[in-house]
Structure 1
């Protein structure tokens, strides 16, 4: 994705939602693969996915900050094209085993139960985790809730 594409997308988003900040926010895809990014973006666009989670150790390994309430983000599809704008509404940092059933449901994956969330995310972090410590049940998880503010699908 080029800066020009992102800037054009942000201009369109701000026209539609004038309360969005002037500065173009961070752009990122949910998931680690092209297919995950597209599947999870679809859940966001359908209004099913209103939450996501990151391993704190992965954020630290990547030099990324913990999201903040009120922060806008551009969500990319699997081909790194901007498709949606979300705004963070809540952030909680808890050990893996203390993620709530409510948060698991907000992520919209599988059958939306806590058991499914544990299974899906343990597998994800074992395969894609970037932190030096790998997966553990006491690893810290950054649970982010968000609201969809703008969507452009398909990209024009």
Structure 2
């Protein structure tokens, strides 16, 4: 059983967004939509994956379209922003989507697996880890995972705070 993620500190996320927006008004004016999220499905995984973002290893992420639907969220757009939280629900960085495509499991390539930055960064470990993850999260939603399901493949840059900016 996975430990549930805590509530997100929404006030801190709003403050982080305002600071970013004040520093980059033109960018925010062009792409005003933003969300606040975690990587993964547990505090431990959220911290692990955020650590890869903070050290510059992780610059891509993958999520199932059905996950966006289940959460009532729109799919990301190029230029959209999201605030990534640590495993305690504390907002840590603002990310901006730079590339977006839909694919099936078998259509994910080695470059994307490398850019996602997990494990040894190979396609083989990407497939094994994501298969296990999506089977687990689908079961938690009361569903099943299939390799034919559409996956959102997103690349991003870190844009805030300045000390973590790409």
Name the TM tier (shorter chain). Answer: 0.7 to 0.9
2:149 to 131, 136, 139: 139
Matched, 1:35 2:69: no
Q: Is the 8 A contact 1:60 1:131 kept in 2?
A: no
1:26-63 deviations in Å (ceiling 9; x for gaps): 10011110011111111111111000000111111221
Q: How many residues align?
A: 153
Match of 1:7 in 2: 14
2:79–2:96 Cα contact (<8 Å) kept: yes
> 1:39–1:104: structure 2 CA closer, same or farther, 3 Å change rule?
same
Mapping 1:56-71, distance limit 5 Å:
56-71=65-80
Judged with a 3 Å threshold, the aligned counterparts in structure 2 of structure 1 residues 2 and 132 are, in CA distance, closer, same or farther, namely: closer
Question: Which secondary structure state, in structure 2, belongs to the residue aligned with residue 79 of structure 1?
Answer: coil
Residue 18 of structure 1: CA displacement?
4.6
Matched residue, 2:82: 73
- Tell me by how many angstroms 1:150 deviates: 1.3
Q: In 1, Cα distance between the equivalents of 2:26 and 2:158?
A: 13
* 1:112 paired residue number: 121
- Unaligned residue ranges in structure 2 (runs of 5+): 1-7
Distance 1:96 1:132, change over 3 A: farther
C-alpha root-mean-square deviation of aligned residues, in Å?
Answer: 2.0
> Which is richer in helix?
2
CA distance in 1, matches of 2:40, 2:34: 19
1:13: Cα distance to partner? 2.7
Q: For structure 1, list consecutive stretches of 5 or more residues without a partner in the other structure.
A: none
Name the SS for the 2:152 alignment partner. Answer: strand
Misfit runs of 4+, over 6 Å:
none
What is the deviation of 1:64?
Answer: 1.4
CA–CA distance in 2 between the matches of 1:20 and 1:150?
12
| TM superposition shift of 1:7 | 2.1
Q: Structure 2-normalised TM-score?
A: 0.83
Q: Could you say what secondary structure the match of 1:21 adopts?
A: helix
